[in-house]
Structure 1
Amino acid sequence: MLIFRVIFLAIAVCLGASQALAEVRNVRVVGNGAPTRITIWTDTAQDPRAYMVEGAAGRSVVLPLRGPASERSGTGMGGVPEWAVTGSELRFNLDRPLMVTRVLTLPPTGTATEHRVIIDLDTVSEARFASVARRDMRQLARALTARNEAGQRQEVAALKPGVAQKKYVIVVDAGHGGKDPGALAVTGKKEKDITLAAALQLKELLEADPRYEVRLTRETDTFIELEDRVTLARNWGANLFISLHADAAGRDSVSGASVYTISARGESRIDKEASKNDWEIPLEDGTAQSITGILKDLVKRETKTHSAEFAELLLPELQQAGPVLRDTHKNAGFYVLLAPDVPAVLLELGFLTNRDDANRLQSRSGRQKSMAAVKRGIDRFFIQQEKLLADRSG
């Protein structure tokens, strides 16, 4: 599976004994603390994990770098007064408790040569910061210990990338179905029928491309439990999971598509649901028990990052197909986003309470335009994953 090849290559680089020099080319902090966004430009790909730290020196957010970097520092804003690169870490000092809500890693696009790391922060209580910081500092210590001892660990060397699948497995989930009709359109159409029609059209588009194998969680008007939808995707070895829905609002003027990825609250449910449904993250046989937890945590973090990356690549394509909400990329704890090792998004195609959206989504041509946009987003996502794999293995 391509995603896991990328993940394990990232782990090997993170924990490997030899480290290439990293160059932090630029840092920008924007916002007022609620929220604040940090953007980092580097010459090499970085890992999607930032740690909240609290100690005698105060509060900070630490981004471990993939190797030593030239020392530099600068000023920020929005609760982040200053930052500094020291050794193999980039540290952002905080003047108030701020929570890391999302970390994105983006490869170069167009003619750009820099990789980007985006860290989103938001206001949180002192007690909440202290609680998360205690957990993060333990995880950071474990990760650094594993990195320092990696040269002596043959178990990590055993994590060799396998042979990529000939096709990417895309699982398309038509929301609702059977006894669950979903939202009702102003035109009288049911959400479950619109999502199924869209899923079948997306399947047709994707299967015309030899790169993809497509599985549908339902192909008829049947009801599928939420946990079964996720289980099916994992059993099929999904590289990407897309759940299709149509929204409803209290005002008929609200229109446009939106994309959801996992929220922090949703993340807190993953381990419980994984244990309940036997969603075990596969690791190489012989992996030492002492690093199993670290590797599984990295897989979950990388999965969350890939989900967000796909959402960001999908949005500009959706904008070409029809209206989108202003706050287009949202976070939520929807059950279908809880797989620990399958990148997943929930796509709201529009608002059935808006007549224009409803008419667009109940017409084959309107759905086809949206599904063509989704297909282009999928293409962009896997092209970037292939490039990332080539960069890391080269």
Structure 2
Amino acid sequence: MNAYSAEGLGSGGVSVWTLNPGELVFELDRPMSVVRVLRLPPTGTETAHRVIIDLDTVSDARFASMAKRDVRRFAKAEADAGKAAEKAALQLAGASTSTRKVPLRGTKGHVVVIDAGHGGKDPGALAVNGGKEKDITLKAALDLRDLLEADGRYTVRLVRDTDVYVDHEDRVTRARNWNAELFISLHADAAGNSTVAGASVYTISARGEGRIDREASRNNWVIPIEDGTPQRLTGILSDLVKRETKTRSGEFAELLLPELEKAGPVLRNTHRSAGFYVLLAPDVPAVLLELGFLTNAEDARRLQSDRGREAAVQAVKRAIDSYFDRQDVRLASQ
């Protein structure tokens, strides 16, 4: 399959279909299974291959049984393919797939980029007791910057330090240009139900991953590969970097969750996935942190108080420390 992406509405049980490089996804409106797949070569003046996939409706029980089996098969195939690709790449190219960045001249320690969500013309969510998301995220970003810089272990960059709007692609581009080792986008959520409260953390979703290559090409987010690496291996190495970036993002999210619980309420399903644009960097571990719900009176008061914000940013700081402690141990063992 070539590097082509498309999506559209389906019919006959398929509500939406999405084509990404190496992947075809169907969203179904009822349980269905694949009964036949035909691969047809080009004919006549056609240059493209064709694939015909026949689906048939099955019972809920049959679907659940087949899905459970296929999940196991897919996980094993993906793991085997990843191990084989990594072994071949390291043997033939001798290249490192680490997402650790080379610090810019004049920087010290680990580079952390903090993105205060919204800003300028975009106020974000509105708090029930007054106030705007853009102001809350900026104050939290400034507090977190001061806390990290006082440590002396980090170089901190802010996507914005005033009330200005920054395009989403520029937020990611700046993080990459600053050689970020970790990118944290701060937000505050809103819900139709005023009783919903608590923090949550997002990392890239499967659907979001399908956008990474497209946006990387559009914005020239080139993954640096060691000079002299054979051309046939650059794709493998790039995939390994993206896989490691996703792993590191998830690792930081899992370190952050227990710290957030110490600072205030969290959602029941706290670690979530989404295709948010700020999570699309192919080589910068990134999370989007929703500090709470501005549509909830308690959360709104907490996030607009110095004490509440301090507890939140202290939690983030502890998670950052744990994350880089682990990275330093890994680096020392290489």
Per the normalisation by structure 2, the TM-score is: 0.74
- Cα distance, 1:198 vs structure 2: 0.5
Q: CA shift at 1:149, angstroms?
A: 8.3
Q: Assess, with a 3 A threshold, how the Cα gap between structure 1 residues 141 and 263 changes in structure 2: closer, same or farther.
A: closer
Rounded Cα–Cα distance in structure 2 between residues aligned with 1:174 and 1:373: 17
- Matched-pair contact (CA < 8 Å) for 1:174–1:245: yes
1:280 aligns with 2:222: yes
Aligned pair in 2 of structure 1 residues 359, 293: CA closer, same or farther (>3 Å)?
Answer: same
RMSD over equivalenced CA pairs, Å: 2.8
Judge conservation of contact 1:337–1:344 (CA < 8 Å) in 2: yes
Number of aligned pairs?
Answer: 267
Contact 2:113 2:159 in 1 (8 A): yes
Q: 1:232 to 1:315 in 2, by over 3 A?
A: same
Q: What corresponds to 1:222 in structure 2?
A: 164
TM-score normalised per structure 1: 0.63
Instruction: Specify every segment of 5 or more residues in structure 2 that has no aligned partner in the other structure, as ranges.
Output: 1-60
**Superposition map of 1:240-389 within 5 A:** 240-389=182-331
Residue 156 of structure 1 deviates from its aligned partner by 1.5
* Worse-matched range after superposition: 380-389 or 309-318: 380-389
Alignment partner of 1:144 is 2:84: yes
Percentage identity across paired residues of the two chains: 63
CA–CA separation in structure 2 for the residues paired with 1:194 and 1:236: 24
Distance 2:98 2:251 in 1: 25
Q: Is the 8 A contact 1:260 1:347 kept in 2?
A: yes
Give 1:156's aligned amino acid: G
For residues 83-98 of structure 1, what are the structure 2 equivalents within 5 Å?
96-98=66-68
**Distance in 1, Cα, partners of 2:249 & 2:326:** 13
Q: What secondary structure sits across from 2:145 in the alignment?
A: helix
Mark the runs of 5 or more structure 1 residues left unpaired by the alignment. 1-78, 80-93, 101-120, 123-128
Are residues 304 and 162 of structure 1, via their aligned partners in 2, closer, same or farther at CA, if it must alter by over 3 Å? closer
2:100 and 2:287 map into 1 onto residues whose CA distance is 26
1:180 equivalent among 114, 119, 122: 122
Counterpart in the other structure of 2:140: 198
In 1, the alpha carbon distance for the partners of 2:213 and 2:99 equals: 25
Distance 1:354 1:367 in 2: 16
Deviation string for 1:114-168 (max 9, x for gaps)?
Answer: xxxxxxx69xxxxxx9xx89xx67x9568627736865x3x31688999964411
Deviations 1:147-205 (A, max 9, x none): 36865x3x316889999644111000000000100000001110000000100000000
